[in-house]
Homo-oligomer: A and B are copies of this chain.
Amino acid sequence: MKKYNFYSGPAILPPEVLAQASSAVLELDHIGLSLIEISHRSKEFQAVVDETIHLIRELLQLSPEHQVLFLQGGASMQFCQVPYNLLDNGEKAAYLDIGAWSKKAIKEARLFGNVEIIGSSADKNYSYLPKHYTIPADAKYFHLTTNETIHGTQMRHIPESPVPMVGDMSSDIFSRVLDFNRFDMIYAGAQKNMGPSGATLVVVKESLLGRVKRPIPTMLDYRSHIKDGSLHNTPCTFAIYVCMLTLRWLKAQGGVAAIEKYNEEKAARLYAEIDRNPLLQAVVSGEDRSRMNVCWVLKDAAHDEAFSNLAKEAGCIGIKGHRSVGGFRASIYNAMPMEGIDTLVEVMQSFEKKNG
């Protein structure tokens, strides 16, 4: 039976990417060796790094000032690496608190300097986005999470900032058009729209770096990785290669603008059914709704298991909501086809017929 993968990450990848990755693990481009047993300093792998960086620059339309890096450790490592590099003792950074992931980022930043939380939606379990906040002009940077994977919100509007802006875009990068050059720094774990787990994308303006007084360990200093072109030490070669394949695929789909339209249509169909279906209730309302992570609950939670079973029988995998929200979540990243959405909508309708 065909499976529809709604996992929040590691997440669905295009079938052609999986086929090409599988083939490269056996042998890369007829060189007689596997992708995963060649040196990261071989000319073959350098070509992979070069093409992947080129694709990222092109798809995000980055300015030459922005450096593109592949690191390890995911967004979680960036939670400490950002303030380690950007926030001196006694200095202030402004954070927007929109959910589980920004809370973690705030916790780490407090080890390095002062954090001012300029807006929070903690009062309603992060089911909306704070709107009326002011970014203080004396902050070293302003940190925001553009999409909240767990709570299902997404910032439709990126504010003007008087200070450098740092965005955690782990769960919506490459899914919609933004003016990425308005960000001084962007970071994202690969395992949603960019590839498998094991690579972390960091985009950073070099002019932002070298301003804190504390010594920074070599591996945590972005400048080490800029200097060595992301090959300061051995990266996860497989993950970078699969990012390249995924971004090639995205380019062939028409790039970010084209996939954004498709993503809008997918999200619209799913939210329309949730709003129509008398047994379901969306967790987030209106313009704050994420087009990547769609969260809903059953009005009668006693039916949760029955709904789960219906979904499983239809091949819909990974729709359990995060324990902090409950209910259900469908992560509908770039690679999710419309037929996956339609299948899930049918599950909702069949659930209504049985229990309505």
Decide if A90 is an interface residue (CB 8 Å cutoff): no
Cα(A322)–Cα(B232), bound, Å: 15
Cα(A238)–Cα(B26), bound, Å: 14
Decide if A11 is an interface residue (CB 8 Å cutoff): yes
Decide if A36 is an interface residue (CB 8 Å cutoff): yes
A11-B37, A76-B234 given; name 9 further pairs at CB < 8 Å: A5-B37, A7-B39, A10-B234, A21-B25, A39-B318, A76-B218, A76-B232, A111-B217, A197-B236
CB distance from A232 to the nearest CB of B (A): 7
Closest 6 CB pairs of A and B: A198-B236, A80-B217, A3-B32, A76-B233, A72-B72, A36-B196
Decide if A137 is an interface residue (CB 8 Å cutoff): no
Q: Please report A residues at the B interface, Cβ cutoff 8 Å.
A: 1-3, 5, 7-13, 18-19, 21-23, 25-26, 31-34, 36-40, 42, 72-77, 79-80, 84, 104, 107-108, 111, 189, 191, 196-198, 215, 217-220, 232-239, 242, 315, 317-318
Copies held by the complex: 2
A12 CB contacts on chain B under 8 angstroms? 37
| Complex contact A13–B34 (CB within 8 A) | yes
| Complex contact B198–A238 (CB within 8 A) | yes
Most B CB atoms within 10 A — which of A33, A37, A40, A237? A37
| Complex contact B196–A73 (CB within 8 A) | no
In the complex, which of the residues B39, B42, B197, B218 contacts A237, with contact meaning CB atoms closer than 8 Å?
B197
| Complex contact B234–A191 (CB within 8 A) | yes
| Complex contact B37–A13 (CB within 8 A) | yes
| Complex contact B218–A107 (CB within 8 A) | yes
Cα(A21)–Cα(B36), bound, Å: 10
Cα(A220)–Cα(B318), bound, Å: 29
| Complex contact A7–B42 (CB within 8 A) | yes
CB-nearest residue of chain B to A198? B236
CB distance from A238 to the nearest CB of B (A): 5
Cα(A19)–Cα(B34), bound, Å: 10
